[in-house]
Structure 1
Amino acid sequence: MKKLIRHPQVVYIARLLVIMTATTVFSIWLSNFGIGKENTLMVFMVGVLLTTTCTGGYQYGIVVSVISVMIFNYFFTVPLHTFAITNTNDIVLIFFFLTASVISSSLTVRFRKQLEIAQKNEQTARLLYEMSESFINVTGKDNIIQLGIRYIYEHTKYESAVELQDETVVDGSNGKYTSKDYMMVPIIGLTKQIGVLKIYNHNQGLTTEQELLIKTAANQIGIALDRELIYSEQEKIKLDMEREHMKGSMLRSISHDFRTPLTGIIGDCGLILESDGQDMDSIRQLAGDIDEQAAWLMKMMENILNMTKIESGKFEITKEQEVIEDIVYEAVRHVAGLQEHRKFTLTMPEEILLAEADGKMLVQVIINLLDNAMKHTQEGGRISLSVSWRNGRAYVQVEDDGDGISDDMMGHLFDEFTTSSEGGSDQVRGIGLGLAISRAVVTAHGGEIWAENRLEGGARFIFWIKAEKV
């Protein structure tokens, strides 16, 4: 019963009856005040127009026109309350009324359809604009395709899938379909076809609006994917250029930094070979210089080897139970000239700290931090190394009283090949790999490393790893 009441034709008939009843009652009421038949017909004309506007087609207007003529004949033409017409003027009046009613209802229906088409076109244009704007802001191949599939389903209720020529397939359907269940729309990029869009419409055909929306979605997917491809290629070119620049910088730095200690080693060896009457103290001092330069070369080669492992993805750590105190003393012992040429202080906690770590790699981290402090402090400068424990973490802190870290260096201090040019290239040796390697090692241990400037002047480097007291 509810479905019958809500049926469009039942609703239109109810509206027709209400309008005709109101028109008839109003016309009879006007006639009691001496209103002429011609004006009464205008009331019925308004009823015809209202019926055409409030119902679903001009046929309802024609029906109302005929009913209005019969009501007018019955109530307002002589003889009254009959369907007979004796006056020729009434016949002509009814004829022109009927003609005007049919024409008016037809024009009203046509105007209404044009209005509906215009509204639908406006809605479609707005939808296409919103779709185009959405594709501008989305990035990523899968996100672009999913956006198109979602738009198609929301506005056509048809599931779809995208197949690209690079064998990327994104299926937005929940079931299995055969080739008879879908239609294909090409996805065209800026210069060529890059894939197809499958619409699972079960061969039901598409309306004009649906076809326009689907083709627009396919075009937007193609343009967005082309844009993504161009952006990826630009980023790849930029990355390749940066890598080439970094390789050039690395080669220049390596050649310079290898030449300096090798020159010293060759010079000291020459002095030893040419000295016939030198005492043992002088020879011992030259041998010490050779040992220091060779140790520095070994540390630099170790950094280069570790960085190549990090770049190739083969960097691994082997964790064992290590005593933090042993790691620290081992690192301090390998930093040449630390205690002879700097005012060095070491602070260790009273407790023994154990950590599941790669001891060799952590030694390398502390060596890198101490070497960095040596490079940026003057002869006789102060360097301190302290270890503390709190909340299940062992904190290692290296401080110096050098010039500190400049603002432009702070943002990329732990990047590869980052070196300070202050003081000249001969004064500060290094190719800028120590801090980058230190960050990779600490991160691999699940810890964190950072740097900051001291209020008293100089820099402070801190890192932590998980540890426990014994």
Structure 2
Amino acid sequence: MKRTEKLLQRTKGYKRLVYILRSVLIVLSASLVCLLLNQFGIEKENGLMVFLVGVLLISVFTEGYEYGIIGAAVSVMMFNYFFTVPVHTFAIMNPNDVALLVFFLIAACISSSLAVRVQKQFLISQKNEQTALRLLEMSEKFINVTGKENIIRLGQRYIREYTGYECIVEGKEESAKTEGKKGAEKEEDAGDYLLFPIGGMLRQQGILKVYNHRQGIHPEQEMLIKAAANQIGIALDREMIYAQQEQTRLEVEREHMKSSMLRSISHDFRTPLTGIIGDCGLILNGHDQDETGQKELVRDVMEQAIWLNKMMENILSMTKIESGVQFIEKNQEVVDDLVYEAKKHIIGLKEHRDFRISLPKEVIVVQADGKMIVQVLVNLLDNAMKHTEEGGKISLNVFPRKGKVYFVVEDDGKGIVQGMEEKIFGEFVSISENSAGIKGSTDQKRGIGLGLTICKEVVEAHGGKIWAENRTEGGARFTFWLKAEQVE
């Protein structure tokens, strides 16, 4: 603080010396010009105009009234010394010269004061222009910034650049805590900072605390700080409104998804349940059926029940995923066991499709939730069965590469609709035979469109990646990888 005050005093002293030197040079220059004009026979009254111009120049090149007034007085003395009778003395013999010098002094003082006022107005207009430009720049920057932390950081930067003071932003809760601690603080500490409210359209967003360390604050600085506080409040209001709108949109989408899920479940449960009820009725009432016919009906009931159980597993898994809780419990699993376990859960895979498995010769283990990875493989193989004809080719190839194990499920069906390679991993989306290849395809193929979504969530929860693509020879290919290691 003391160093700053000394520096300011030195700066003021230097300016004062510069202004004195300028004034002396201007008066001397005006005197020389008048002497030259006198040599050419120009009347002395015209010389007073030269001194008047000199006084105006002093007012322009200095700051304050005193330099112009002192310059006018010195000019009168110089004119009296060189041009009034008796010359080279400060005595005045002619009353006309006295009146002339008095009116000159009055005119010079008035002109000097007017020039100073014009100069001050010009400086004020310059400051106002700079302030307006700063406010415009500030408002433009706040329009484009997003995120609460970025908004606060931008406001702090502008206040620091324009005022030189540090500041912090306290939210409503933090302000309440600060109020509770004020009784324990020393009274003199309260003078180290100034508080500015951060307003909002609906409520106060917080408090802007500017640390001025008892230095006071200029009105222009106060205006800039208040403008920054208002901009911070408007930007925070905008962020809050956007967050509320986003939350509303998510809730609407969630409700829409729930209704779609319930509609799909009711539709897809009705078909197998109707088949089970019909088959059971035939078994109970079919006294003349042979044993082979009854076994076929029982097998059909079993297939429908297993399919219902698979769909329930998908629904429960999706519920766990959307709840946000940790649904993965990793253990050391052998890849071959996972593949064979998944194959058991696909009814008719070997009987109705040309299914082939390719496994690595090495024993590959993964740190994974075995049940969830089996469900991923079941969903992919079941998806391949749905989209291939009777006798179609389906393959599951597993191979290690660079610390990862890749699972590739391929089929020779009609493939994926162009542009749907990413979208099919969304909820309630199925790659059926409809032309659009988008939501609403569950009417033709059984399934509520959760299988691939679950695959994506489970694989990514394990730190892996899954993707889909069309094969050049026809059909679809689904690939995912997990981190793995080889057992020696």
TM, length-normalised to structure 1: 0.91
Structure 2: how far apart are the matches of 1:450 and 1:52? 79
Structure 2: how far apart are the matches of 1:223 and 1:14? 52
User: Match for residue 438 of structure 2?
Assistant: none
The correspondence of residues 54-453 of structure 1 with structure 2, limited to 5 A, is 54-167=61-174, 178-202=189-213, 204-407=215-418, 409-420=420-431, 422-423=433-434, 425-453=442-470
Instruction: Structure 1: state its 5+ residue gaps.
Output: none
Structure 2: how far apart are the matches of 1:17 and 1:346? 104
Structure 1 segments of 4+ aligned residues over 6 angstroms from their partners = 168-171
- What is the letter of the counterpart of residue 463 of structure 2? G
- What is the letter of the counterpart of residue 462 of structure 1? T
User: Match for residue 181 of structure 2?
Assistant: none
Q: 1:167 to 1:294 in 2, by over 3 A?
A: farther
Deviation at residue 55 of structure 1 after TM alignment: 1.0
User: Match for residue 37 of structure 2?
Assistant: 30
- What is the letter of the counterpart of residue 22 of structure 2? R
Which one is further off, 181-190 or 230-239? 181-190
Deviation at residue 391 of structure 1 after TM alignment: 1.6
Deviation at residue 78 of structure 1 after TM alignment: 2.9
Structure 2: how far apart are the matches of 1:452 and 1:275? 48
Contact between 1:345 and 1:383, CA under 8 Å: does it hold in 2?
yes
Structure 2: how far apart are the matches of 1:291 and 1:313? 34
Deviation at residue 300 of structure 1 after TM alignment: 1.1
Cα deviation, 1:42-94, whole Å, max 9, x if unaligned, reads 22222211111111112101111111111122222333222222334433332
- What is the letter of the counterpart of residue 398 of structure 2? V
Cα deviation, 1:332-376, whole Å, max 9, x if unaligned, reads 232112222222232223333222222222111111111111222
Q: 1:222 to 1:426 in 2, by over 3 A?
A: closer
Structure 1: how far apart are the matches of 2:424 and 2:137? 44
Q: 1:168 to 1:138 in 2, by over 3 A?
A: farther
Structure 1: how far apart are the matches of 2:207 and 2:241? 20
Contact between 1:163 and 1:170, CA under 8 Å: does it hold in 2?
no
Contact between 2:384 and 2:411, CA under 8 Å: does it hold in 1?
yes
Say which of 469, 478, 482 aligns to 1:465: 482
Deviation at residue 236 of structure 1 after TM alignment: 1.5
Question: Tell me, what secondary structure is at the counterpart of 1:327?
Answer: helix
- What is the letter of the counterpart of residue 158 of structure 2? Y
Contact between 2:199 and 2:206, CA under 8 Å: does it hold in 1?
yes
TM, length-normalised to structure 2: 0.88
Which one is further off, 31-40 or 94-103? 31-40
**Considering only aligned residues, what root-mean-square deviation do their CA atoms show, in Å?**
2.7
Structure 2: how far apart are the matches of 1:169 and 1:363? 53
Identity percentage of aligned residues: 60
Structure 1: how far apart are the matches of 2:300 and 2:253? 37
Cα deviation, 1:239-292, whole Å, max 9, x if unaligned, reads 111111111011111111111112222222222222223333222222222222
Question: Tell me, what secondary structure is at the counterpart of 2:302?
Answer: helix
Question: Tell me, what secondary structure is at the counterpart of 1:417?
Answer: coil
